[in-house]
Structure 1
Amino acid sequence: MSRWQAENIGVDIGARSIVLQRGARRSALNAAGGDWAALGAELAQALPARARLSVRVADRWSRTFLLEAPGGIASLRDCRLLLDARFEALYGQAPADWLLQADWQAGAPMLACAIPRALRQALAGFALARLQPALLHDWNRHCAALPADGVWCAAADGVVNLLVWHKARLQLVRQQPGTDVEGLLALEMARLGMALPAARFWSGPAAPAGWTPLEAAA
């Protein structure tokens, strides 16, 4: 690699541990998830200044949700206000402490996400190729290979994520603490007034009966 070329490095921030991916090499950091100042300091010591980071943030530390703009919302300022209000209503946390982004589009539900602002500040000394919640990262990676109707559950570290789509359009994104996947799924499908899709995909520890590992959809 040229001394002038940025080195592409993956940073996988898990619920408890943080792992660097440099080519085929993987190594664990001493810093733990949630201690963003310690993470920034350790990265500054371990990595070259020209490192370019692709950061995947566990659902324990990030938020992903669905946002639907009502008619009449047009200006970027109104969209930002709507995003902040939706986040605070869902999570009861101050939007100012988070970096919020959405895939702005008219006439369709939008995926929105939030990353702790303190984490972004800890990474300020590095070029970022990507900074994404794990849920959004995995959805973008696999969604093109999924059928037009389906449900995907990502369950790990005491967090359940549920995504439901119909005719290739997201209908639901639910993220909450817990482990009762079947109960949450039954409740949300009843709220949507939809039958359970035949295609059910799973990420996490061993897939329950009737669920297909998400990686098998590729």
Structure 2
Amino acid sequence: MRRRFGQSLRLGIAPDGLALLRVGGWPSASSVVLAVQPVEAGAPDALENGLRALLREAAAENGLRRWPLSVVLADELVRLWQVPPPAGATRPGDLQAAAALRFQSLFGAMPAPWRISADWSASQPFLAAAAPEALLALLESLAREHGFHLVEVAPQFVAALNATRRQRRPGAWFGLVHGGVLSLAAYDGVLLAAVRTAVIPDGADREWLEAHVAREALRVGVGRPERLQLSGPAPRSWASSVGRLKFACTLLEDEDAAPGWPLHALLARTGSGA
């Protein structure tokens, strides 16, 4: 398959499935689902075997060798947490040690099997993410084997957060809706205070959303936001309400942007801008 200017591949990886997309292109960007592959969640080697088969077919049968490849990991596969920098931190090693200690404190495990990345900062709390070292090593090996240029591997929430950075308004929180789960980035002024995740109950309306945001603000210890900006297929009713609104709510993506797409394809599409 001949690659047009600006085109690339995006691979979505979840515990129960994979999806490969072709995105971008000039003069108009688009997203096309190339493959969706279910995986038996939790079965030994199931994810590895699925990735091997999917990328082998993409390289050989679809002629996608040497294409740029970005990977979006489902948030169930990663860990996200806030790290307060230690007082007097001056070296990258100080921040890395603080992130590792915080990981161990929050998740009750040593961080050795995980690869940690972060928006490192010695002056303010920063967001850190950890992905399984074995999965990242597998992706790097398969990319080399099949000739893909591995550009980026990012958790879904981080991919969505980065893609909407320019759209975010002062005083706003950011949220991602995916697979019946709402993940919130709670801000204290311009600083990210916490990332909170909750299952969306059936029939959740604007009243539920307002109560949920109010509870999360109390738990985090920050004020309720002036606005909530949501990415992903959020209910349209969340953007409006009968009566007085406690905060504004903006849907950054139309829920019909990709009608009928499988959930794993939506995962892969996160942050693509196409």
Classify the TM-score, shorter chain. 0.7 to 0.9
Matched, 1:136 2:158: yes
How far apart in 2 are the matches of 1:78 and 1:166? Answer: 24
**2:85 pairs with one of 63, 69, 83:** 69
The 8 Å contact of residues 59 and 133 in structure 1, kept in 2 or not, is answered as yes
Alpha-carbon distance change, 207 to 92 in structure 1, aligned in 2, over 3 angstroms = farther
Aligned partners of 1:57 and 1:16: how far apart in 2?
Answer: 12
Which residue in the other structure is 1:41 paired with? 52
**TM-score if structure 1 supplies the norm length?**
0.81
The residue aligned with 1:190 is 218
Instruction: Give 1:53-132 correspondences, 5 Å limit.
Output: 53-125=69-141, 126=143, 127-132=149-154
Distance, in Å, in 2 between the alignment partners of 1:141 and 1:79 is 25
**TM-score, L = length of structure 2:** 0.66
Unmatched 5+ stretches in structure 1? none
Shift in CA distance, 73/95, structure 1 to aligned 2, threshold 3 Å: same
SS of residue matched to 2:66: coil
Pairing 1:147-158 to 2, within 5 Å after superposition: 147-157=169-179
CA distance in 1, matches of 2:192, 2:172: 10
Q: Secondary structure at the match of 2:12?
A: strand
Q: How many residues align?
A: 215
Where does 1:26-37 land on structure 2 (aligned, <5 Å)? Answer: 26-32=33-39, 35-37=46-48
Structure 2 partner of 1:213: 251
> How many percent identity over aligned positions?
27
SS in 2 for 1:96: coil
User: What is the Cα deviation at residue 107 of structure 1?
Assistant: 0.8
User: Residues 146-197 of structure 1: CA distance to partner in whole angstroms, max 9, x if unpaired?
Assistant: 111112232433544221124332122224x533666653333124443311
For CA contacts below 8 A with separation 6 or more, give which structure has more relative contact order: 2
Q: Which has the larger radius of gyration?
A: 2
Q: Distance in 2 between matches of 1:31 and 1:119?
A: 17
Q: Find the aligned partners of 2:52 and 2:38 in 1 and give their Cα distance.
A: 9
User: Higher mean Cα deviation, 134-143 or 202-211?
Assistant: 202-211
Give structure 2 stretches of 5+ with no counterpart: 24-30, 144-148, 202-208, 241-248, 255-272
